[in-house]
Chains A and B, each alone.
Chain A
Amino acid sequence: MKPFTYVRATSVAEASRMVVAGSAPLAGGTDLLGLMKGGIASPARLVDLGGIDGLNGWSRERGAGLRIGALTPLVDLETSDQLARHLPIVREALRDTATLQLRNAGTVGGNLLQRNRCWYFRDAAIQCWLKGGTQCFAKEGENEHHAIIGTARGCNRVAPSDLAPALIAHDARVTLTSTRGTRSVLLADLFTDPALHSREEHTLRRGEILTEVQVPESGLQRRGTYLKAMERKTWSFALVSVAVAARIRGGKLRDPRIVLGGVAPVPWRVEAAEAEIDGHPFSDDLARRAADLLLADAAPLAKNGYKVPLAKELVRRALARIAAA
């Protein structure tokens, strides 16, 4: 790790000013320090957000949805029985996220803003497209973990967060704060549309700090579940994950969401797939039709074709689970 100056901010405004001036924001550090040790990031200044009050913890106000502070440790959400009553998908998603040590240190904001796990990206010796180069080495290389859909010409990374698909399935928004003010965007829009050929994974503007996640009342009324396929039973990023959520009325799925992780550079949603099941009772056939629509544009690389049937079956199982619950 290269030397840097360190400062502990006491307010979001102060932290934002420092980020504008070139500091990297530090929360739990479980991703940033790895990037710095690997030589992928080498900020000259770190601004520690840990001393800022009011960003740790969650609250539920009837009629006003759920708010989660960005500095809340992942483990606090995973272990809260109260939160599991409001939004059980969060515990399901976090139980298999990383390890307890990393969930103790890692935060909600950091999880949503973590960088991708592509081994070419994570190798400092390789100047891949995302790091300013001209080529994606995964395209013709070792690509069993890479994207099968939604890839731009330049990059075949996948969005690694477990929490993101789960929260997007419940229509979560995030608050982004800078010295210029505060804006609220759909969590789904925090991830850069690959079609834009941007070399940024997230859509944060200069100096913006993610301060809060909100789940609207309508999102809380959906029943959701999260399934994750891993190479081993623990401590593994998703090969494929799926978050589904819907209101169940008279045995029918209403206003459904299906969000895939591990298959595309962003949490992957296709509205036509959701429209296909909206208003219908669950059946294996219905789920298969939705999954086919969701993956209609899949174009696997040489070694990751397995992700297509895996994703389709996870979608079927997840929809069956919320329909039966």
Chain B
Amino acid sequence: MPTVRPSGPGAVDVELDVNGIRTPLHVAPHTTLLDALREDVGLLGAKKVCDEGTCGACTLLVDGRAVYACMTLAVACAGRSVETVEGLARDGELHPVQEAFIAHDAFQCGFCTPGQIMSVVALLRATPSPSADEVMRAVSGNLCRCGAYPNIVEAALAAARKGKERP
């Protein structure tokens, strides 16, 4: 019977794939993915707001699925793919969803924006032509205290239309 050695409670070595880059980390097991990215990797896109899985400002993608980074342990993501808002732009060009958020004024203070964008990116990959209702459902786990919701929905629908036009 193979036995698995426990690790921690001190810092342990774990390697994540962050935005396509192999990223070795040395973090204690009780470090959330959010804190690991912000404090150890230096990626500040995912925001730490409620830190209890209710606001959505830390939304990012793990293996392509939108999750709350504050409710995910970094050690549990070993070998998995993590995508943050910093990984969306390509060669200095913003991602179509980022462009659409700017064009449609889909934010005011901007604090929820990286999370909103990641939720929309995940939606459009699975559902390239969503209805407004599907967009609303996809971002209903992302709170916006400025109340930019109508423009967020508009931006997502516009990004979807643009996505279809591209070859």
A residues near B (Cβ < 8 Å) are 1-10, 14, 26, 29-30, 33-34, 36-38, 44-46, 48, 50, 73, 75, 98-102, 104-105, 234-235
Contacts and interface: CB of A to CB of B under 8 A. Distances in A.
B19 to A, nearest CB: 19
Given A1-B30, A3-B28, A8 B73 contact: no
A34 B9 contact: no
Contacts of B85: none
Contacts of B1: 14
A3 B9 contact: yes
Contacts of B52: 34, 37-38
Interface of B, helix, strand, loop or mixed by DSSP: loop
A234 B140 contact: yes
Contact of B76 (A36, A48, A100): A48
A34 B141 CA distance: 16
Contacts of B157: none
B53 A30 contact: yes
Contacts of A99: 56, 140-141
A104 B65 contact: yes
B156 interface: no
Interface string B53-85: 110100100000111100111011000000000
Contacts of A46: 29
B15 interface: no
A2 B8 CA distance: 12
B113 interface: no
B30 A29 contact: no
A101 B29 contact: no
A8 B5 CA distance: 9
Nearest to A3: B9
Contacts of B92: none
B56 A6 contact: no
B6 A7 contact: yes
A325 to B, nearest CB: 22
A3 to B, nearest CB: 4
Given A5-B6, A5-B8, A10-B2, A102 B68 contact: yes
A104 B76 contact: no
A153 to B, nearest CB: 31
A25 to B, nearest CB: 13
Nearest to B141: A99
B68 A6 contact: no
Which are the 10 A-B pairs with shortest beta-carbon distances?
A99-B141, A6-B29, A3-B9, A7-B6, A5-B6, A104-B65, A234-B140, A5-B8, A1-B30, A101-B141
A14 B29 contact: no
Interface residues of B, number: 35
A29 B141 contact: no
A107 B3 CA distance: 25
B137 interface: yes
A224 B72 CA distance: 34
Interface string B4-44: 11111110100000000000000011101000000000000
B159 to A, nearest CB: 18
Given A34-B52, A48-B76, A105 B29 contact: no
B16 to A, nearest CB: 15
B98 interface: no
A30 B29 contact: no
B66 A29 contact: no
Contact of B72 (A1, A5, A29, A234): A29
B66 A4 contact: no
A34 B54 CA distance: 10
Given A100-B141, A105-B71, 4 more contacts: A3-B30, A6-B8, A6-B76, A48-B76
A26 B30 contact: no
Contacts of B141: 98-102, 235
A6 B73 contact: yes
Given A30-B71, A33-B71, A100-B141, A2 B53 contact: no
Contacts of B71: 29-30, 33-34, 102, 105
A4 B4 contact: no
B4 A45 contact: no
Nearest to B12: A6
Contact of B5 (A3, A7, A102, A105): A7
B30 to A, nearest CB: 5
A196 B53 CA distance: 33
20 contacts: A5-B29, A6-B8, A6-B29, A6-B76, A7-B5, A7-B6, A33-B32, A33-B71, A34-B52, A37-B51, A37-B52, A45-B6, A46-B29, A50-B76, A73-B65, A100-B119, A101-B59, A101-B119, A105-B71, A235-B140
